[in-house]
Structure 1
Amino acid sequence: MARIAIAGAGVAGRLMAWRLAHAGHSVSVFDPADGPCPPPPAHTGGGSPGGRSGAAGFSAAGMLSPIAELDHADARIARLGWRSLPRWQAIGAALGGAEPLVRTQGSLLLAHGSDRGAAARVLARIAAVPEAPAPEPLDAAQQRALEPALAPGLLAWHLPGEGQVLPGELLQALAEQAPGVRWHWGTAICSVDPGRLRDSHGREHRCELAVDTRGLGARPQVALRGVRGELVWLHAPGVPLARPLRLLHPRHRVYLVPRPGGRIVVGASEIESEDTSAPSLRSTVELLSAAHSLVPELAEARIERLDSHLRPARTDHLPFVHHESGLLRLNGLFRHGWLIAPALVQDALAAAGLENPHDTATA
């Protein structure tokens, strides 16, 4: 049994703590957030101005779309995502809950007829990855059968096996069901070095393995930049939507993700800025106009809240794992944190000798 201290309680940090605790290790987690629950929305009295405090994973849409991500992401991201899908299913089953935390009903790629060329380029990128399942083209009747609220006349492809997680609920469940983990909330870690963490009060926390999953909090020890993302939460009771939708468009990256309670999350802008103020009028209008063009019934949906958050990214937009004696770093998950976390955590623990790299267990 090893004494392990983890800095950062985002997706990677909580998932790593959960796995290590179930493997019998002594685990402590340090994070500046007030507690394990989602922070209050910025526009109802909490968070930083215009954005949200706490893990960026709380503000994410939670899409598990390795095939669809080939639209813009490296094939290595898709492979990590494909490895992660069965692991998420096993994790969701192990955590339980009233609502399924992980759903894999597939997703849809959609395009307007005028954007046929943009769709063809994305489909060619997908076809260039041999292990990626081929998107299944859908005619109008098949579209109506899967998603009756879709606008008529769309080009559509079904991506079997893809899905989504419920981010807030899953983050809470990972914290609540990690046996014996000591959670040090309200504790900001300023530096992570082999065998020790140092907090903002100058206190040292010694351990056998120091793990750094702080995201942007790892600067300046890790070279990272923040990339701004924006989401719009809609309340649309009565609008049927069973699976994530992604619009293929030459200018916009837009997805719609259903949530319990008649809610739909619309994203995702990607802006080279570390501004955490409220989403701009332009990006909000673009996101909502694109969403309305796919699902006309959203015309009467109510805007429940706007979110902005920063994703930790390296120059190549790829994650990295660094291991040396007494130290493990995992960072740079960018916009793919939920998609790739299980496979990346497995690779990190294998690098540290805490997990069999050839283990096929899905949880």
Structure 2
Amino acid sequence: MLVNQSIISDIKTIVAQSKDKAIRSVDHHRTLMYWDIGKRIFEEEQEGKDRADYGKYLTEYIANELEPEYGSGFSKRQIELFRQFYRNFPITNTLYSQLSWSQYKLLIRIDNQDKIAFYIAETVKNNWTVRQLERQIYSSLYERLLLSNDKENVLAVAQNEKQPSDAKEIIKDPMYLEFLGLKREASYYEKDLESAIITHLQDFLLELGNGFSFVARQKRIHIDGDEFFVDLVFYNRLLQCFVIIEIKTHKLTHQDIGQLQMYVNYYDRIEILPHENPTIGILLCANKNDAVVKFTLPEEQKQIITSQYTLYLPTEKQLLDEVNKELESFEEKDSD
């Protein structure tokens, strides 16, 4: 008898999905258990708040009583995490079943409520893994978006309260490409950087931001008998437009901007459909001169964006210094 072979793949899919749901359910109940433990510890701590060092004594006492029976998951460090978990998330119905305990452990370390809300929203919306969330936190995604946007706008886009209307709301400057594994002291040809991006395409899409999908590499276009090759072409479903990326390993020049402008004009006039928005062009460069960009392009234009890339992650202090520098420049403009 002939059997439809798709039945096997369908059953395997059902089994895999059920296993995934079961794992998520178990992890969520474990997270709730840790929250309940943290709540109970906090309540007990409040009873003895007039006694010096009671909190430290309490966590040590609980760990000594429970760790021999339940293992290292109830060490003093873990008990302190449970307590901090409850302190950071005191309302149980604000906990997300989509987030694992490992992800909550990353969020507990953040001391800014707006930042926590941002990373929760992005994790739920994009279904980030633990590794992806960790990478975004350590690459200071929130601070980088603040360099070109205000806090309320960044949170609104993350929480789906508004759709991005400007490419700068989701495209970061600088972009951190540490996942390419290239040594920062070495010099590279543009094709080397492009090949590394294609090899690590999933990580690059994560760095680009929400809504991006890959379209083409070295896209050939013909203009009146001449051939040109666009480095990378993406599409963004949130912005509903093509996004062209040109890679430059040297310091940005006005010729680079002109080249990208030509590619953007070509896509706008030849490739896009009537319902799609104007093409965005990103010059991903090793070093840029904002003044050259300013005087090469028309004022108030929003289609060409420059983003400097770096091959290593910054320290938190470096990012905060950049944010503060940007805020100071905004304040100076406002005072003018």
TM over 0.5: no
Task: Report the TM-score when normalising by structure 2.
Answer: 0.30
More strand by share: 1
More RCO (CA 8 Å, sep 6+): 1
- Higher-Rg member (1/2): 2
Task: Report the TM-score when normalising by structure 1.
Answer: 0.28
More helix by share: 2
